[in-house]
Chains A and B, each alone.
Chain A
Amino acid sequence: MSLIGILFYAFLAIIAVASALAMLIDRNAIHSALYLVLNFATVAVLYLALGAPFIAFTQISVYAGAIMVLFLFVIALLGAEKLSGSEPLKTHRPLAIVLALVFIVEIVLFTVFRNQDISPMVILTQDFASPKNIGLTMLTQYALPFEVVAFILLSAAVGAIMLTKAERSPAYKLSHGEK
């Protein structure tokens, strides 16, 4: 691979990992959400490199567009970008760090020693993952899961409306003693 290509992939990897870490570390939830948008855009570029253009643009429009705008809207609505510093559970954080370290070691052992797959990625034909082919596969071979997902989305939309409707939400009634 040419030097330019290696530099490009190294740049992408650094951006992806750094934006994920910045999301984890930053105290302000709004900044975390914006770092996550950057991470999603980088992953979309990786999808393009892997020969999945349609998924790449769906990633941009659905994840970076719709989902993260919803997140930013809720953060701004609740005014919850910063929490107070008090911590009721004192022993919780060291325990969490230890457990996370155990998991990191496990993942590193798995990816480095067990799964040494260094075969190069395939340069696919342009036709492979074209929107036409994806639509054909989704509506023939995967027609039933497609319908099930449509139903899940409908029920999620109805559920979200029911939960946030102040007068009729069950949680609101319970906390205010209404029947």
Chain B
Amino acid sequence: MPISYFLAISAIMFVVGILGVVLRRNALVMFMSLELMFNAANLIFVTYANYYQVLSGQIFVFFIMAVAAAEVAVGLALMVAIFRNKHSIDIDQMNSLKG
């Protein structure tokens, strides 16, 4: 398979992730879309690790996965804290700081 096959899949997944963040109002689904974008970036890393035959690209994917796991833990904890206060995770209702 040509390299561009993987690049195309990755580009489509990244755009769907952006659409999810921009269109959906459920904060949890927005988080999932972020994960989708992380995955698209990881796929590009692994593809070019294969293309240039350098292992560093694959090592970087592990670091991205670890940071994404940390981000999800803190983000979901924030969701729980926000839900306790507002009883909703609709992103449009988080406008308390609006002047």
Contact = CB atoms under 8 A, between A and B. Distances in A.
B27 to A, nearest CB: 8
Interface string A46-74: 11011110110011001100110011001
A3 interface: no
A128 B53 contact: yes
Interface in B63-96: 63, 65-74, 76-85, 88-90, 92-93, 95
Contacts of B8: 13, 111
B26 A88 contact: no
Contacts, number: 237
Given A58-B62, A71-B32, A78-B79, A46 B39 contact: no
Most buried by B among A83, A119, A161: A83
Contacts of A88: 92-93, 95
Contacts of A17: 9, 12-13, 16
Nearest to B72: A67
A37 B13 CA distance: 14
Interface of A: 1, 5, 9, 13, 16-17, 20-21, 23-24, 29, 32-33, 36, 39-40, 43, 46-47, 49-52, 54-55, 58-59, 62-63, 66-67, 70-71, 74-75, 77-78, 80, 83-84, 87-89, 92-93, 96-97, 99-100, 103-104, 107-108, 110-111, 115-122, 124, 128-129, 133-134, 137-138, 141-142, 145, 149, 152-153, 155-157, 159-161, 163-164, 166, 169, 171-172, 175
